[in-house]
Structure formats: structure tokens, C-alpha cells
Structure 1
Amino acid sequence: MWDARATSIAAPMQSVGTGDRVYALDVLGDKIVVGTRDRKIHLLDARNLSVPEQVRDSPLKYQTRNVAFFPTGDAFVVSSIEGRVAIEYVSPSPEEQKKKYAFKCHRSKEDGVECIYPVNALAFHPVNGTFATGGSDAVVNLWDPFNRKRLVQLHRFQTSIVSLSFNYDGSQLAIASSFGFEYEPAPNPMPENTVTVRHISDAESKPK
């Protein structure tokens, strides 16, 4: 952890080892969630990084691609390279753990064969609590985690979605698209790297 206010940053304020490479990270207030190469999920308190609050196995079978907290901080989302997303709850209590679930997404059928794409990007709507996913299928979906349904699918982009971010009130969604070398040979010519800002209406983003 770094102090952005410092005029000269020689060393981090705090550090903690995770035992393997960090593949994904999200911060909400004092809460930190980390996904590592060994498919562990670390839940940390930024006020004291010396001891993780929890370390648990990823609910998904394949490599973690991204993690993101719900705006409320009581739950988080994990995505993987296998076209799946899991909703996890922070509290280890049995009542809270009963609410967790996972689902398939960012998949398509071509000539009768199912194509499965990594889910690279996650972003929560800061007001409505719904969230967006972006995949290597060049598609962005908006989801209602409370009613377990997809709200809308945006138009297909030229290449993989690698990053997503809502603005402060959720009315705009920034969408970064860039080829991620998920397959070979790479396309020729290479798709253009783009950042698109799209208006998101309440009709598209409110739970239903």
C-alpha cells in the first residue's frame, strides 16, 4: 500500500505476501479483495495488512480473471477465463453463504461447438448495485445480481473487452477494447484499441 500524498515515495506503507502472483484486485474503503494464480481469494483490511481477514478457495475451477466488490461491501464478484462469474459473500456465516451462486456467460455456439471466452472486466453501477461484465467475445453485458438475470447486452465491439468503469452516478460506462492475445494466430490487421463512453439509462441498469 502506497501513500499518494507523500512527496517522495521510497517504500510502501504496508505490504503483505499472498503466496502467489496477484491476478486481480479491488478496493472498497478499507476492504481489499485479491485473486491469485493459485485460485485463492484473499480478503484484507487496509488498516492492517499483516494478517488476512480471510483466505478462501475461488468458487470457480479455472484461473481468476477479475474481482469486484458490491457497492455495499458485503459481497463481491469473481470472474474466470472459463466464461463464468460467481457471486460471493464476505461474511462466513452459513446464512450469508447460502446466498452465493455462479453462472455461465460470454459463450456462443459456432457450428454446433460451444465457444467459451474469458470474462476480463467487471464494474458495478454505483447507485443501482447491478454490474457489467466484459469478455473476450467483444461483448458487454449488464446483470441484476439480486434477481439473477441479464438486463441488457450492448453491441459487439471489434475485439476483446479488457476494462470497464462507471462514472460516479452510473450514467456513463467507459469501455476499453483491445486484443488480448487469447488465441493464435493474431488477427491481421490487428483490431484498433478503443475507449468508448456509452450512456447507460436507468431502464438498462435498474434491477428488475
Structure 2
Amino acid sequence: MAPASQYELAQPPSDSVTAVAYAPQSPTRLLASSWDKHVYLYDTHNGSEDAQGTLLNTFQHRAPVLDVCFGATDNVAYSACLDWQVYRIDLETGEKTSVVKHGAPVRCVVHSPQHSLLISASWDQSLQIHNTREPSTPNITIPLPGKPHALAASPSKLVVAMTARLVHIFDLTSLPSLFGSPNPAEVKPWQQRESSLKFLTRAVSCMPNDAGYATSSIEGRVAVEWFEDSAESQARKYAFKCHRQAAPADENGGGGDIVYPVNSLVFHPVYGTFASAGGDGTVALWDAEAKRRMKQYQKFPDNVAALAFSADGKYLAIGVCPGFETGVEDYSGEGKTKIFIRELGDGEAKGKGAK
């Protein structure tokens, strides 16, 4: 069995990392977005004796970048920016083009390779759908009933988590037919749900087998749900506590828990297990079917803000930076932001029932 290993990437962002994303083909090509107004492109395995990994390029923006994803190939990226725009970045030439303009900062962006769609979610309470196959086609705008905080796509579904515990699920297979439609604003979600979690949703991730999704909250909880709307399927959904630490005992002998936000969730592309990252500086692996924690890694030096599995499932990228929950007024991630690459051991992310 190949042992697991872990190392820190050289030349990390100079401020807090907001997202990390692996390329669709290469398992060693990684993007990171940051509050320092840049997107970073790394080769995670082409380093020197003195440094791990190589920073291939940086792409400057006018404002902090809140999310980033790859497009259909390893040479195209899309960034969601605080300046209200989504940019297409040619990673070979460095050319950056605005492809979406919202009316407020753009919080999330995802690419659906199955349907050649780029979907962005903005604090202007809307989704915009961009046709990456025919980019000159006018974008579709879908109004939302709340401010979006998390977005994820499966092969056929799009999950949008919003304020007021609202969750809308859209059928991606029906969206391409809307281009050129006279009134796309009347697009209805495939399902409307209320979050199983009592507090604000922090992250969402979809199962690779297209069966369901997981959400996390600012209050140290994760919920796992299935798309199928039958009573039997909905009875399977569950939620659990995580990323908490026992508080010191008070003068009366009581303690309770210190609760941290669960900042990121990501499903393993091969085994369907998932990893969670928290403000407590830990990353845990979970078996969604068996409802159990498989592994918790050693504590990282700071809040874990972002996670990504490589397309082959062999590597886990971990973005670490100070957490905003500390409440400091002169917050800065400079000098404290780090990106770790973990090479998973054989079967490390394999669930109990996996073949």
C-alpha cells in the first residue's frame, strides 16, 4: 500500500485563499483564488530541491477574487470577482475577458462540462448562465429569492444555497434550451427546499454519481441529502455535528463545545466519500453511505478555507489562512496563507462499501 504524504506549495497567495480547483485532465495543475486580487496557477509536482511545486503564473484582477474554476480544458479558467464580473482567463496567453456582468459582487462560479455552461451566482440575487460553446449567445439571468452563498453542480443538477435557509435545485439538462428564449426570467427550479441546517449555509458539494449533495453551515454541522423526491429517499437524509472542540470547564464545571464554521466540502471523484474543512484547522474524511468519519488529519496551522480533489482522486489540495471568526479589525492573511498538497494513500478515501 502506497503511504500518504503531504507538503506545502511554494509561493502561496499573499492574502487569504478563497478557492482551490484542480484541472479537469491534469492531476497536478491547480488554481487558487485570493483576496489579494490574483488567481494563481501551479504545477504542484514540478518543484526543486528547495521548494515544492512551481508557481506557473499569476493573473491580476481589479478586486478580490471570491471563486475560481477550470473550464472545459486545462488551459481555460473562470474567476468570480468582487468587481461584479466573471472573467474568462486563457492560462496560456494570460488574456482575461469579461464574460458575465452582475449588479453586485459575484460569490460563486461553476462550470458544467456535460452541458458547456458556466453558472455564476451573485449577491445581486441572481444566477447568470453563460454558453461556453457559443460565447456570443446572450447570457440567461435567473432571479433568486435570496442572496446566494454556495453553488455546486452535478452531472445533471445545480444546487444553489441562499440566505433564509433556501435551497434551489435546477435541472441542468433543461437550461441550454433556454438560450434565445423570450422570457428566461420565468425559469423555475426543479426543486425548492429548506435547508436541513438551522444556520447559514457555508458550502455545498454534489455527489459525483449524481444522486445528491451535502451542505455545511457556520454552526459546525453537515447535512447529506438525495435529489430523488420520494418519501423513501428523503427519509435517508441526515445531519451531524463536526468541527467542534470541547470548551474548557467553567467555574461550575460545565464546558460545552466551541463551534466552528465548516468552510468547504468536496466529494471524492472515484469513491464518493467526502472531505470537510473547518475553522478549527482540521480536515476530515467522511463516508456518506455508512454515516461515519473515516479519518481526521492532523491540525493545520490556521483555519482551513478551501479544499479540492484532483480529477483522478489521488491528491487533495488544502487552502489554509486565518479565519474571519476571530473578529480582528486589522485582518490580513499575508504571510499566513498556505496551500498544502496531500497525496492520498491507497484506499485512504475508500468508503466501507466501495469496491
- TM-score > 0.5, shorter chain as reference: yes
For residues 132-155 of structure 1, give each alpha carbon's deviation from its aligned partner in whole angstroms, at most 9, with x where no partner exists: 000011100000111111111112
Pick closer, same or farther for the CA change 1:2–1:83 going to 2, 3 Å: same
Match of 1:100 among 237, 241, 251: 237
Residues 14-93 of structure 1 mapped to structure 2, 5 A cutoff = 14-49=140-175, 50-93=187-230
**Which residue pairs with 1:117 in the alignment?**
260
Greater relative CO, 1 or 2 (CA 8 Å, sep 6+): 2
**Which residue pairs with 1:149 in the alignment?**
292
What's the offset of the Cα at 1:46? 2.3
Is 1:4–2:132 an aligned residue pair?
Answer: yes
What's the offset of the Cα at 1:162? 1.2
How many equivalent residue pairs?
206
What's the offset of the Cα at 1:66? 0.8
Aligned mates of 1:82, 1:40 — CA distance in 2:
16
Aligned mates of 1:6, 1:63 — CA distance in 2:
36
Tell me which amino acid in the other structure corresponds to 1:54. Q
After superposition, the CA RMSD in angstroms is 1.9
Tell me which amino acid in the other structure corresponds to 2:221. R
For residues 97-117 of structure 1, give each alpha carbon's deviation from its aligned partner in whole angstroms, at most 9, with x where no partner exists: 111111000000131331000
**Which residue pairs with 2:76 in the alignment?**
none
Between 177-186 and 155-164, the greater mean CA deviation after superposition:
177-186
What's the offset of the Cα at 1:8? 5.6
Tell me which amino acid in the other structure corresponds to 1:184. G
What's the offset of the Cα at 1:4? 2.9
Match of 2:343 among 199, 203, 207: 199
**Which residue pairs with 1:169 in the alignment?**
312
Aligned mates of 2:221, 2:205 — CA distance in 1:
14
What's the offset of the Cα at 1:203? 3.4
Percent identity among equivalent residues? 38
Provide the TM-score with structure 2 as the length reference: 0.55
Aligned mates of 1:188, 1:102 — CA distance in 2:
32
What's the offset of the Cα at 1:188? 8.4
Aligned mates of 1:7, 1:189 — CA distance in 2:
37
**Which residue pairs with 2:325 in the alignment?**
182
Between 185-194 and 107-116, the greater mean CA deviation after superposition:
185-194
Tell me which amino acid in the other structure corresponds to 1:165. A
Between 135-144 and 176-185, the greater mean CA deviation after superposition:
176-185
What's the offset of the Cα at 1:35? 0.2
The structure whose Rg is larger is 2
Aligned mates of 2:234, 2:171 — CA distance in 1:
20
Query: Is 2:324–2:331's contact at 8 Å kept on the other side of the alignment?
Result: no
Query: Is 2:154–2:206's contact at 8 Å kept on the other side of the alignment?
Result: yes
